[in-house]
Amino acid sequence: HTTRATSRTDYSQLCHQLDVPFFRDVVPFLEADNDVILICTSILSLSEVLNSMPLRRLKRQTLFVDVLSVKEHPRNVLLQVLPENMDVLCTHPMFGPESGKNGWKDLPFVYEKVRVRNETRCSSFLHIFESERIYWKRVAEWWKCLVKNMTKLPLEKESATNDSFDLFSGLFIHNRFAQQELMNLEQSFEKVKQRLLKKMSEQQSLSSV
């Protein structure tokens, strides 16, 4: 397959090293007859980037794929902005520069076929990741594995501390459960705090007798 890239940032030198055609202008990129367009933006800039693309310049039906760390938001934006005849695949490669620096083998990749008419093209795209021996699951199947993988959370601490605040703010703003979970966390901390203070007070009272 042929890989092409476009960005408002000049990555022409890097793309030259990788033997990847780079387009500073998005119009010729859209006119390049791409089978799949992979949208790699921050959570906060997705809507702006998609709305800035002259999608009328697309020559044929295309599969659009996102890789954001939240899923409801990109799903809604893609369905709102893209022409109805475009296919949509939402994905979450659950790894990054830190966790994937030694290869992708056995790393998790979650996806949802939001609007897919061309199954052959979608399967070919997913096979790219499958061929790297990535552990991939549909969203519905992934939840079954979630509890088991909670035991790995301490190992993710170093990786998470290297993430940008923009990522965390995007995860908070565009996840409808985040505000309630933050409140739950605050309440839990307060309960633990009050229990500890009560216990300390009881011990101090016993010591003074």
Residue 145's domain is classified under what CATH number?
A: 3.40.50.720
Higher-pLDDT residue of 200, 121: 121
Whether residues 181 and 153 share a domain: the answer is: no
Angle between helices 178-208 and 165-173 (to 10 degrees): 110
Q: Which two tokens stand for residue 93?
A: 């490669």
Q: pLDDT, tens digit, for every residue of 145-189?
A: 444 554 455 555 555 556 677 777 777 777 888 888 888 889 998
Whether residues 156 and 182 share a domain: the answer is: no
- Whole-angstrom Cα distance, residue 85 to residue 145? 34
This model's pTM is above 0.85:
no
Whether residues 47 and 145 share a domain: the answer is: yes
- In this prediction, residue 175 carries a pLDDT of 80
Long-range CB pairs of 117-120 (<8 Å, 24+ gap) are 117/61, 117/87, 118/61, 118/63, 118/87
Whether residues 78 and 131 share a domain: the answer is: yes
110 found inside a domain = yes
Could you tell me which of 148, 138, 142, 145 has the C-alpha nearest to residue 116?
138
19 found inside a domain = no
Whether residues 54 and 97 share a domain: the answer is: yes
Could you tell me which of 43, 158, 47 has the C-alpha nearest to residue 101?
158
- Whole-angstrom Cα distance, residue 121 to residue 107? 23
- In this prediction, residue 58 carries a pLDDT of 94
Whether residues 75 and 146 share a domain: the answer is: yes
Element housing 168 (H / E): helix 165-173
How many Cβ atoms from other residues are within 10 Å of residue 26's Cβ? 16
Domain count, the chain: 2
Q: Which two tokens stand for residue 47?
A: 């809507």
Q: Is 164 helix (H, G, I), strand (E, B) or coil?
A: coil
Q: pLDDT, tens digit, for every residue of 89-107?
A: 999 887 777 777 887 787 8
Name residues whose C-beta falls within 8 Å of residue 182's C-beta, 6 or more positions apart in sequence.
172
169 found inside a domain = no
Supply the range of the domain harboring residue 94. 33-162
Whether residues 49 and 132 share a domain: the answer is: yes
- In this prediction, residue 161 carries a pLDDT of 56
Whether residues 48 and 147 share a domain: the answer is: yes
- Whole-angstrom Cα distance, residue 62 to residue 87? 6
Whether residues 182 and 151 share a domain: the answer is: no
Sign (positive or negative) of CA dihedral 155, 185, 183, 164 = negative
- In this prediction, residue 152 carries a pLDDT of 55
Higher-pLDDT residue of 177, 48: 48
- In this prediction, residue 105 carries a pLDDT of 81
Whether residues 208 and 181 share a domain: the answer is: yes
Q: What is the mean pLDDT of residues 129-145?
A: 62
Whether residues 121 and 63 share a domain: the answer is: yes
46 found inside a domain = yes
- Please state whether beta strands 87-93 and 108-115 pair in parallel, antiparallel, or not at all (unpaired): antiparallel
